[in-house]
Structure 1
Amino acid sequence: MNSYALLAIGGTLLCGVLAVAGIHVYATGRAQREALVDRLTSTGGRPAGLRTRRFTAVDRRIRRTALGKRIQQRLAATGLDLTAGEFAVYVAGGVAALWLIASAALAPFFGPVAGLFALWAGNTFLNWQRQKRIEAFIGQLPELSRILANATAAGLALRTALSMAAEELEAPAGEELATVTSQLALGRSIDETLGELADRLPSRELVVLVTTLVLSNRAGGTVVGSLRNLTETLQERKETRREVITMLSEVNATAYTLPLLGLGAMIMLNSMDSGSLARMTGHPLGQLAVIVALGLYAVGFIGMRRLGKIEV
């Protein structure tokens, strides 16, 4: 089987994976839209995110393993409507597709490298989705603090105020607070439920808010003044975080651009002299040189990402 056939197979497989992912996103968005329409028109309907699960047999098997349980916990933290089995199948398809494409377009040596990159990309995607959800939740904290302050000022209990905030706020704050109120309805304490919320979405702002609510609940004092002062502080921190992210966007973009330039250089070299990468990686010294180069790119990428990560 020549390189063009492998490239065609890999491209077809990658297109299939992207098509399945696109269908999944479309089905999820359509279900959420129908649920929102049902909620606004007060006609009932199925809950948001309800859909037919795929790869149920794979999901049952993988949930029994420690890796499957860890994947499911991380998916729950991201808010994605995916099961561990679905995510594992999508990642496996991406690994196979990139392996075939790299083997055909570059050299067989780069197939395993591309497979490892696909695994890293899947893990990075989960981290990115989790951080994105945390950032969105932090952006809603000033409004959450304002709702809680107004509710407690009206004489409502903290449990009732949290339930009201869950109904008023959009996702992800609304979903997380709905989970909190459901746990409170089952008899769990406010300290435990709010502590688990801070563990799921770790941030300094949320820790401050949770600490304020927990201490006020234990002492039995009023939280109106504290929450209103906290609302102003959270709003200022929100603007500061936005400015810092804007200032560091160039550094983060450069961290992703440099590895892409290296990949483009290899593709250009192989296109100018067909089979040059295969001949180079066919020798142990050539393989060592490629591994060292990839390691240096990885060190540079990690270093630039560290420079572009500032805790506010």
Structure 2
Amino acid sequence: MDNLPLLTIGVTLLTCALAVFGVHVYASGKEQQQLLVDRMSQTGQTEINGRRRRFASLDRRLRETTFGKRIEHKIAATGLDLTVGEYVVYVVAGLLGLYFVVGAIFAPFFGVLAALIGVWGGNAFLNWQRVKRTEAFINQLPELTRVLANATHAGLAMRTALAMAAEELENPAGEELRQVADQLAVGHSLDDALGELANRLPSRELVVLVTTLVLSSRAGGQVVSSLRNLTETLEERKETRREVTTMLSQVKVTALAVPLLGLGFMLMINATTPDALQKMTGSFVGQVGTVVAFALYAAGYLLIRRLSRVQV
């Protein structure tokens, strides 16, 4: 096999990147486990020892740029224990691994395309984590409104009710509400703290909850009855969203199967006729045709996902 050295280098880089990511996930899990043990022990004090940050100099330089600030904001919305420098290094290592592996299996031109797709994939991963965290938070909203309603019915102020909910609820709601409680403790207004929460986790349900709490704090009124009515509404929306997700699961699998079929066809062609893909991409016409084909597959994927998107 002529591309065996490139394949070996690519597999090695990809393995190293996965190993570093695995060690990072393991360290984060151990830290979360220790925090949970400390919380369950009810000692009253929890010493949070942050893990050692990697690539600190690169992280400082990136944070000073517009690109680094944008990435930092996205990472903060996902809840991942990552710095900007770590994220950039992991993405670059993954892109190099994709380039060498795909280029060795298919052709060097496909390695370049895979690296470009990997750049999009790195950003898509953050967006997916943000959507996943938002969905988890939405599922906790009925419980959150129930806790707030009970606390305000007992005569507690909204600031105290939010701090109590932060202690009782699991993550991500507990972590997000702790940030809100910390901002209120240092002098931020309720409008600003809840507004930042709505910006981090954008959703219709959260906007309704934030609007209800802000209007109640400004004009007064029956906040308890409003929260209890909102709890019933959120429970119904939660069930509706679950039913819609179940019905559209087959469509989402179809959207993923379309580009995978194209990849399978390329593997079959390259297996039956060695170096066919390399010869095809050796000319300008072949490269243009390959780019157009990839663009059509991407357009089909996005079109199917767009048509299957249902706003509840």
Q: Could you tell me the TM-score, scaled by structure 1's length? A: 0.97
Partners of 1:178 and 1:6 lie apart in 2 by: 49
Instruction: Give runs of aligned pairs for residues 151-300 of structure 1, distance below 5 A.
Output: 151-300=151-300
3-state secondary structure, aligned to 2:108: coil
3-state secondary structure, aligned to 1:109: helix
TM-fit CA distance, 1:46? 3.1
TM-fit CA distance, 1:2? 3.7
Question: What code does the residue aligned with 1:92 have?
Answer: V
TM-fit CA distance, 1:45? 4.1
Q: What's 2:137 paired with?
A: 137
Q: Which stretch shifts more, 84-93 or 213-222?
A: 213-222
Q: What's 2:47 paired with?
A: 46
3-state secondary structure, aligned to 2:248: helix
Partners of 2:285 and 2:176 lie apart in 1 by: 53
Q: What's 2:110 paired with?
A: 110
Partners of 1:159 and 1:27 lie apart in 2 by: 34
- Show CA shifts across 1:5-46 (max 9, x none): 101110111111111111111110010001100111124443
3-state secondary structure, aligned to 1:52: coil
TM-fit CA distance, 1:221? 2.2
Q: What's 1:61 paired with?
A: 61
TM-fit CA distance, 1:286? 1.2
Q: What's 1:127 paired with?
A: 127
Question: What code does the residue aligned with 1:47 have?
Answer: I
Q: Which stretch shifts more, 286-295 or 25-34?
A: 286-295
Partners of 1:99 and 1:159 lie apart in 2 by: 52
TM-fit CA distance, 1:58? 1.4
Q: Which stretch shifts more, 134-143 or 285-294?
A: 285-294
Matched, 1:80 2:48: no
TM-fit CA distance, 1:56? 1.0
- Show CA shifts across 1:133-167 (max 9, x none): 00000000000000000001001111110110000
- Show CA shifts across 1:96-124 (max 9, x none): 00001111110111121011111111111
Matched, 1:29 2:29: yes
3-state secondary structure, aligned to 1:282: coil
Structure 1 runs of 4+ aligned residues shifted over 2 Å read: 42-48
- Show CA shifts across 1:159-184 (max 9, x none): 11011000000111111110011111
TM-fit CA distance, 1:76? 0.1
Instruction: Give runs of aligned pairs for residues 292-311 of structure 1, distance below 5 A.
Output: 292-311=292-311
Partners of 1:277 and 1:207 lie apart in 2 by: 51
Cα RMSD, aligned residues only: 1.2
Q: Which runs of 5+ in 1 are unaligned?
A: none
State the aligned residue count. 311
TM-fit CA distance, 1:61? 1.6
- Show CA shifts across 1:268-306 (max 9, x none): 211111100011111122112111111110110110110
Partners of 2:42 and 2:206 lie apart in 1 by: 33
Partners of 2:138 and 2:76 lie apart in 1 by: 18
Question: What code does the residue aligned with 1:146 have?
Answer: R
Partners of 1:139 and 1:238 lie apart in 2 by: 7
3-state secondary structure, aligned to 2:95: helix
Partners of 2:274 and 2:151 lie apart in 1 by: 70
Q: Which runs of 5+ in 2 are unaligned?
A: none
Partners of 1:93 and 1:272 lie apart in 2 by: 31
Partners of 1:220 and 1:47 lie apart in 2 by: 38
